[in-house]
Amino acid sequence: MRALALTTFLAFSSGSAAIAADISVPTAQGDVAFAGVPQKVAVYDLPSLDTLTALGVSAAGVPEKLYVKHLQDLAGNAAPVGTLFEPNLEALAGLGPDLVVVGGRSAAQKSAVEQVAPAIDMTIGEDLLADSKARLAAFGALFERQDKASELAATLDQKIAAVNAAGKDKGRALIVMTNGPKLAVYGRASRFGWIHEATGMPEAAEHINTANHGDAVSHEFIAEANPDWLFVIDRGAAVGEEGQSAEATLKNPLVEGTNAWKAGHVVYLDAADAYISAGGYTSTITLLDELTAALTKG
């Protein structure tokens, strides 16, 4: 199987002098040259799976748990090949894909899945909106869906423009993630900083730690920041954990005294879309629509 995977890889990898590639696709780890359209694809990265689905590309293999509502139906039409963090190499080998897509939580498993088939890393970085459009274009080119990708990209640009207009002069925002009773905030340079970019709204607090898991804070911190808007992501709800909800965690006299709470400007974003598959096409559209609706109403 390893020998077969290496032989197949020569047809897809960048730098293969023996085969003239039809297309070079940008990935998170550099451009990769492809000699043809992949026919059977296993996808471990949910933003990628979301975008491929929007383009009309069906994955043959997917993670056992998909988390995101609009991806749930894919489980009945694709083989389970492990989890977001742990690929099942035996199941993957049995599927026999000619391409494996990893990214984000599964990016660290790229070398492992390459024992079975060629793999590309399509991680969405902190520049989420730009990366989302770049991945859409790359997948559109790879799977010969350029027209569809252009159509989807135009819609995405319209949605970004709409939320930017809705956020104009609406005050300062604070992005909060809850995890049971725990609170963390995220700034413009963080994984959720795209919310500030999309809305154009300034941060309610300066010098927020840019760590991937956010800057752990208390209710007092939120009160002192006194945001005009609170954008909230419930990690527990995103991953299906039981426990204290975001609403319960935030319901505190200190938070209730903020401008955001008193004005009804506390926006609970779709948790799985925001935490698991942000950057995927449909998830990103959903989140932009939620932000636009809340800011327009407010």
Q: Is the dihedral of CA 113, 91, 282, 12 positive or negative?
A: positive
Q: Do domains 2-123 and 164-297 have the same CATH topology?
A: yes
- Measured between alpha carbons, how far is 286 from 265 in angstroms, rounded to an integer? 18
User: Pick from 24, 21, 50: which is nearest to 35 by CA?
Assistant: 21
Domain 2-123 has CATH 3.40.50.1980: yes
**Which pLDDT does position 1 carry in this prediction?**
41
DSSP 175-189: EEEEETTEEEEE-TT
Classified as helix, coil or strand, 263 is coil
Domain range annotation of the chain: 2-123, 164-297
Six-digit token string for 3: 């020998």
Classified as helix, coil or strand, 197 is helix
Extract the residue ranges of the chain whose pLDDT is less than 50: 1-20
Helices 281-297/128-142 angle, 10° precision: 140
- Measured between alpha carbons, how far is 66 from 139 in angstroms, rounded to an integer? 20
**Which pLDDT does position 21 carry in this prediction?**
53
**Which pLDDT does position 195 carry in this prediction?**
97
**Which pLDDT does position 19 carry in this prediction?**
40
CB 33, CB 14: distance < 8 Å: yes
DSSP code for 72: G
- Measured between alpha carbons, how far is 86 from 88 in angstroms, rounded to an integer? 6
Query: What confidence tens digit (pLDDT) does each residue in 167-198 have?
Result: 999 999 999 999 999 999 999 999 999 999 99
Residue 259 burial by CB count (10 A; 0-12/13-18/19+): exposed, middle or buried? middle
Six-digit token string for 96: 């026999």
Q: Is the dihedral of CA 56, 60, 62, 67 positive or negative?
A: positive
Domain 164-297 has CATH 3.90.76.10: no
**Which pLDDT does position 203 carry in this prediction?**
96
